[in-house]
Amino acid sequence: MKFHIVVLILLSTMVNVGYAQSDEEELQRTKNVSDTILIPTRQLIMPEPFDAQAALLKLFPGRYYKMKRDFKNELINWTCKTCKPVKYADVNEDAASEFPYAAGVATRLINVIDFKDAKGTSFKIMFINHSAFDEEGNQTSRFTGGLLGLAKFNSSPQGWKLTFFQPAIGAYGAFSSCPAPKAVLIGEDQYAFMIKHSNGGGGGPFDGSFFLMVGAGGKYQEQLQGYGIERTAVSEEEGLSSWISEYNVPVTAKKYFRDVIVKTKGIYCSGDLEGLPAELTTKLKKGKNGQFSFSRRYLYKAGKGYQPQQIEQLIIR
């Protein structure tokens, strides 16, 4: 009798963790899943405490793996033969592809952000990364971003209720991996999410950009594109300019879409001014190297999103 109980417990554990596999095996795609998994109006309630990985497996019921490797080790592999592929933009040039991928999809959890509104209602937004299926679980191709998706849950007496689901938005980052979005309060109870994209050739330098995702018109989409906000430093002998940026959203009387301020500082080398704003480069003396800093304000305009203004507070040393 005790033996039967132990067997039942082991079987139950295997069911609860999904299709966990050994690192010695090649990863398998699951059997074809229904195209209903991409319907935005899906219904799902998760119990307290909220388990994001369990929620992800409910949303994408494929073959689940947890691997002991250097790259992100939890993923869900799935295919959908009846899904109608849709093309999504990749901020890496010429890297757009159709999703779901014909060869199969690997779906991973990026992060979960918690916040509350003025009424005290708690929310969780779960960010999702999709990449093309790989038999070894790798995320490859430097100039291919990870396709971002999200699922929004709010607290209810029944548990964490799925209230918004957008399986795919666009691709960001490198090696099929989207950077973790960060919450930004841009108005009264108006949260947006900033992504810092960075990419470049092997060994650098790498160029960075800010992309602000805002919920508007029934979906999350880019409302700010801040290009050229970073150029990573390399060895001094290479004589290249470099800079970094940070953003903030000052509290103002605006109820929604408050101004976004991006502050940039770095070093300039006279032989490498590419990527720096013209307002700066026209003021530099030929043959001189030094430091600089400036701010750029982004103002929201309906129908156009956040628009960059002329740089402010320029300092050259």
Task: Find the helix or strand (DSSP H, E) in which 214 lies.
Answer: strand 207-216
Q: pLDDT, tens digit, for every residue of 285-313? A: 888 999 999 999 999 999 999 999 999 99
Tokens linked to 84: 């109608």
Same domain, 91 and 205: no
On whether both 52 and 164 belong to a single domain, the answer is yes
pLDDT band, residue 101 (cuts 50/70/90):
very high
Does residue 128 share a domain with residue 38? yes
In a domain, 80, yes or no: yes
In a domain, residue 65? The reply is: yes
Residue 1 lies in a domain: no
pLDDT attached to residue 10? 36
Burial 155-185 (b: 16+ CB within 10 A, else e): beeeebebebbbbbbbbbbbbbbbbebeebe
For residue 11, which phi and psi values (nearest 5 degrees)? -65, -40
Residues in the chain: 317
Domain assignment present for 295: yes
Percent of the chain with pLDDT strictly greater than 90: 78
Closest CA to 162 of 172, 153, 173, 174: 153
Measured from the Cβ of residue 120, the count of other Cβ atoms closer than 10 Å reads 7
Q: Verify that 101 and 248 share a domain, yes or no.
A: no
Residues 304 and 188 in one domain: yes
Are 76 and 126 members of one domain? yes
| One domain for residues 148 and 222 | no
Give a yes or no: residue 9 inside a domain.
no
With beta carbons less than 8 A apart as the criterion, state whether 226 and 298 touch: yes
The residue out of 178, 196, 230 marking a domain boundary is: 178
Q: How many domains does the chain have?
A: 2
Mean pLDDT of the chain: 90
Contact between residue 227 and residue 209 where contact means Cβ atoms under 8 Å apart? yes
Both 174 and 208 in one domain: the answer is no
State which residues form the domain around 268. Answer: 181-317
Per residue in 246-277, pLDDT (tens digit) is: 999 999 999 999 999 999 999 999 889 999 99
316 CB burial (10 A radius; 0-12, 13-18, 19+): middle
pLDDT digits (tens, 9 = 90+) for 33-48: 999 999 999 999 999 9
In this structure, is residue 11 part of a structural domain?
no
Query: Is the bond preceding residue 49 a cis peptide, omega within 30 degrees?
Result: yes
In this structure, is residue 46 part of a structural domain?
yes
Q: Where are the alpha helices (DSSP H) in the chain?
A: 2-16, 52-59, 278-281
Determine, yes or no, domain membership for 167: yes
